[in-house]
Amino acid sequence: DAGVIQSPRHEVTEMGQEVTLRCKPISGHNSLFWYRQTMMRGLELLIYFNNNVPIDDSGMPEDRFSAKMPNASFSTLKIQPSEPRDSAVYFCASSLGTGNSNQPQHFGDGTRLSIL
């Protein structure tokens, strides 16, 4: 079975440019999560969706970040305009169940983003 698929795997762009990260969750999973990983802050949850609806976006750093989930099989995380401090590895994860569930989150391979 296919896991969580993220694209691109690597992105290098200049400051000020718009960046769009994409994620396809595991089929049948109804929760989707976006994380950011940096050396300084570790793994941080940015936002998560249940049944395509954003539930908690308290981790989104600022208005430059936005996320959408137009359907059950696709989500995007957009940064506009990008800044060097946004450089990190961005992970998408999905899981079965919503709310109080012991289902593990399964992660994609991540997108390594470098903003010059």
Partner 1 sequence: AQKVTQAQTEISVVEKEDVTLDCVYETRDTTYYLFWYKQPPSGELVFLIRRNSFDEQNEISGRYSWNFQKSTSSFNFTITASQVVDSAVYFCAFKAAGNKLTFGGGTRVLVKP
Q: Does residue 34 belong to the site contacting partner 1 (CB under 8 A)?
A: no
Residue with smaller CB distance to partner 1, 61 or 81:
61
Residue with smaller CB distance to partner 1, 3 or 14:
3
Q: How many Å apart are CA 6 and CA 40, to the nearest integer?
A: 23
Q: Does residue 25 belong to the site contacting partner 1 (CB under 8 A)?
A: no
Question: For residue 62, which amino acid is it?
Answer: E
Q: Which two tokens stand for residue 87?
A: 């450089």
Question: Strands, E, within 1-116: which ranges?
Answer: 5-7, 10-13, 19-24, 31-38, 42-50, 53-56, 65-71, 74-79, 88-95, 106-107, 111-115
Residues between 68 and 107 with contacts to partner 1, criterion CB under 8 A: 89, 91, 93, 95, 98-102, 104-107
How many Cβ atoms sit within 10 Å of the Cβ of residue 78? 15
Residue with smaller CB distance to partner 1, 26 or 115:
26
Q: Does residue 22 belong to the site contacting partner 1 (CB under 8 A)?
A: no
The residue ranges that bind partner 1 (CB under 8 A) are 31, 33, 42-43, 45, 48, 50, 55-56, 89, 91, 93, 95, 98-102, 104-110, 112
